[in-house]
Amino acid sequence: MRARQPIRVAKRVLISAVLVVAATVVPARAAHNRANLPPLVIWPNAWTSQLTRNFNPCSNGSADTANVLYSAVYEPLYIIDSARYKEYPWLATSYKWSPDLTTLTFTIRHGVRWSDGQPFTAQDIYFTYATLPGIKTAGLCANPKVAYTLTMPASDQVVFHFKTRDSTQLFPLMHNQGILPAHIYAKQANLGAWVQTNPVGTGPFTQVGNFTAQSFDMGKNPYYWQPGKPAFSTVREVIYTSLDAGNLALEAGQVDWGGSLIPRADRVYDSRNPNFHHFFPAGFTDDMLFLNTTRYPYNLVPFRKALSLAMNRQAYNVNGRYGYGPPADIQAVADSTGSTGPWPNWVDRSIPQTLVQYNPAAAAAVRPQGPPRHHGVAADVHPRRDADHAAELPGHRHRRELQGAAVRQLLR
């Protein structure tokens, strides 16, 4: 079953670079001078008791770890819009694969400066991708997601060299990887412990103000490279200690943009105000049922097929996911109809969808033959007791109930 990303909600337009992709759908509004508007209030769905003024993404004690305002300061080479499936050149203007798909060359954008006025160069990219992974740090500076070496053949180019050919490396390289200023970060003896109270980035918002334990403002980068942007002069981040508290603030109009799970958002949120809108894109992750295939009966292929037939995925979607997580097709690239989702054009129509379609009668007809065996050795087990060991992902009671019911039905 396919999981989806948090709902994005907004009640006024944001045209700044940082959120042009992160909040891909926002409501229309009459033209006006946005510079005179109060701060745009953002809730990044971070549930914490208080903020710490630390904008070092290599530290666990940062104020804004892994949420939207990091992208307001630290920008990537490319932004990949996972909702529209489009690529946007950002700090790089282009990339090119070698014919054998083992090298990936980026050409960097000219005329970009850091918020302290220093020029942005290929050395910053080299530091971020080649030097940082070798430093034992936390946060967003952890080990690289893919294996590569990096070279700089020209002053405006960096080249990633991969051990094996793989054209899918672009997304994990770009995703959530902001480029950091080498002229600042390379000077820190203990990068993981360093506290950066005033960030330096290439993004549209870099000037910190009004910092408290529950909120802070980010003003415009005086050297931002996109003319006329950002459209708003200030973005304010607020935090709440629970999902309910954040949702109440959204519904009361106290927050302009946020990521949250709102059950039945069209009725609970959109209907309250004509300027309230939500957006819920298809995600890239799946809700999975993991079985211990070294134990009976999970080591039996017929049993696993029957278990799949016995699971009512649509019931889980409606009752456990509020209708936001429609069942996936058997390849997990689209929904069960093969018409919507991340990659419907990739669906192989020759593969039957039978095993992901709810069919309790077909499931009940499957009966594994012979005594239970473990690695070829007869095992003394009690099927009803073993049914309780079906793997589960925590936090989804309805999913557990559906799985347990399916297993018990098969083992009767």
Same domain, 102 and 161: yes
- Output the CA torsion sign for 205, 208, 209, 212: positive
Query: pLDDT digit string (tens) for 200-218?
Result: 999 999 999 999 988 999 9
Q: What is the DSSP letter of 326?
A: P
The separation between CA 368 and the C-alpha centre of its own chain, rounded to angstroms, equals: 40
**In the block, which residue shows the tokens 């999902």?**
243
User: 85 near 181, Cβ under 8 Å?
Assistant: no
Residue type, 69: L
> Residue 227 has what pLDDT?
93
Query: pLDDT digit string (tens) for 334-365?
Result: 888 888 777 788 889 999 999 889 999 999 88
Is 70 exceeded by the pLDDT of residue 407?
no
**In the block, which residue shows the tokens 């298809």?**
282
CATH number of the CATH domain containing 56? 3.40.190.10
> Residue 62 has what pLDDT?
53
Average pLDDT for the chain: 76
Residue 292 resides in a domain: yes
> Residue 75 has what pLDDT?
94
Is 80 exceeded by the pLDDT of residue 183?
yes
Is 60 exceeded by the pLDDT of residue 281?
yes
Q: Which helix (H) or strand (E) holds 233?
A: none
User: 259 near 42, Cβ under 8 Å?
Assistant: no
Residue 190 resides in a domain: no
> Residue 330 has what pLDDT?
86
Residue type, 2: R
Residues facing residue 78 across a β-bridge: 89
Query: pLDDT digit string (tens) for 152-178?
Result: 999 899 999 998 887 777 887 877 688
Q: Which of 145, 150, 172, 143 is nearest to 103 (CA)?
A: 150
Q: What is the pTM of this model?
A: 0.71
Which DSSP string corresponds to 171-205? HHHHTT-----HHHHTT-SSTTT---SS---SSSE
Residue 404 resides in a domain: yes
Per DSSP bridges, beta strands 377-378 and 40-43 are unpaired
* Ramachandran region, residue 103 (left: φ > 0; alpha: ψ -120 to 50; beta: rest): beta
> Residue 241 has what pLDDT?
83
CATH number of the CATH domain containing 94? 3.90.76.10
The domain in which residue 24 lies consists of 2-73+197-280
Same domain, 394 and 302: yes
Question: If pLDDT is split at 50, 70 and 90, which confidence band does 21 have?
Answer: very low
CB count in 10 Å sphere of residue 72: 27
Mean pLDDT of 82-97: 88
Same domain, 290 and 380: yes
Mean pLDDT of 8-29: 34
Angstrom distances, CA of residue 309 to CA of 169, 247, 249, 403: 34, 37, 42, 11
Same domain, 64 and 201: yes
Output 70 or 73, whichever has higher pLDDT: 73
